[in-house]
Amino acid sequence: MISRRQLALSAIAATIASKAMAQTAPTGEYPNHPIKIIVPLAPGGASDFMARLIADKLPARIGQPVIVENRPGAGSIIGMDIVAKAAPDGYTLGMGNLPALVLNPLIKPASMPYDAEKAFTPISNIGLTPNMLLINPTKVPSRNLKDFVAYLKANPGKLNYGSSGSGSALHVAMELFLKNAGAQMTHVPYKGSSQMLPDLLAGRVDAAMDAAVTSLPHVKEGKLIALGVTSDTPAFFAPDVPPIASVVPGPALSGWHGVVAPAGLPPAILAKLEAAIRAIVKDPDVQERLKSQGAIPIGDSSADFAKFIKMQRDANRPVIAAAGIKAD
């Protein structure tokens, strides 16, 4: 749980940095000095990879260096609070993600130092990292999603599922699936996906929702069966696995990672950043690099990214409330 002292120190640091930049930055057309992208997570992982990919390509389009700064802590809250409190001048950006902008505000609103619905200007969603609905074939008799849903309805609560922790994205993703399917399973929380996956492989838990990039090797080896994927269409990395929504109507929850700025970003600066980032994501080399990490390239508009974030909040708010989901 994030402490008040952590939040206070974070806010003070962000305010000092913003004032210093405002005092020392030369005036003129944007941009005229380096840009910083805050990643609210430790190095490694999808958000960090995408931030560094954008930082590598953006200078050629805007004429200034772009620096990536990792500010992990409190499930992305500390880093995103720095972004929220920065000056809306286009020189401090952030890598928004599902926990930071959707799940944390819904699950632990009392711990939020910023209003996620008002504190940011969405610029562009870089990519989705889909999840897969997985079963252990020795524990579950179903071999396709339709039969699995029928089995769950005929045996409410008989099967269990593992997640990366109470209140985690994978926990919410499974509860969203169960709500849409009208089915029940017993939740077994772990301290991270890396602890859950060995128990799924060993049959100590029956099913799970897990990141496709992590679970796909086990599916290819036949140790796990992927019944569905959370992307809207079949994913390039598993074209034979159906989208969950094609069998169970309703939204499904994928990870996503997009660039945001503080609220109040001037329209001209937003337009410049949006155009540059969207062009980068459409670059064939960038698309291949994203796919190599199991990500589906997006590169949408600011308006579409904002609509997407709102849709995610609207879809998950009733699920979190009905399931009584709390953070660890």
Q: Which CATH superfamily is domain 4-129+255-323 in?
A: Bordetella uptake gene, domain 1 (3.40.190.150)
What is the residue extent of each domain of the chain? 4-129+255-323, 131-246
The structure tokens listed for 6 are: 């952590």
Question: What are the b/e assignments for 90-104, b being 16+ CB within 10 Å?
Answer: bbbbbbbbbbbbbbb
Same fold, 4-129+255-323 and 131-246: yes
Cβ–Cβ < 8 Å for 310, 84: no
**Helical ranges in 166-224 per DSSP H:** 169-181, 193-202, 212-220
Task: pLDDT tens for the chain, 328 residues: list them.
Answer: 455 555 545 544 544 444 444 433 344 699 999 999 999 999 999 999 999 999 999 999 999 999 999 999 998 999 999 999 999 999 999 999 999 999 999 999 998 999 999 999 999 999 999 999 999 999 999 999 999 999 999 999 999 999 999 999 999 999 999 999 999 999 999 999 999 999 999 999 999 999 999 999 999 999 999 999 999 999 999 999 999 999 999 999 999 999 999 999 999 999 999 999 999 999 999 999 999 999 999 999 999 999 999 999 999 999 999 999 988 7
The residue among 88, 79, 87 whose CA lies nearest residue 114 is 79
Cβ–Cβ < 8 Å for 232, 245: yes
Amino acid at 205: V
Which H helix or E strand runs over 279?
helix 267-282
Amino acid at 161: Y
CATH 3.40.30.10 assigned to 131-246: no
Supply the pLDDT for residue 119: 98
How many whole angstroms separate alpha carbon 163 and alpha carbon 110?
A: 24
pTM summary value: 0.88
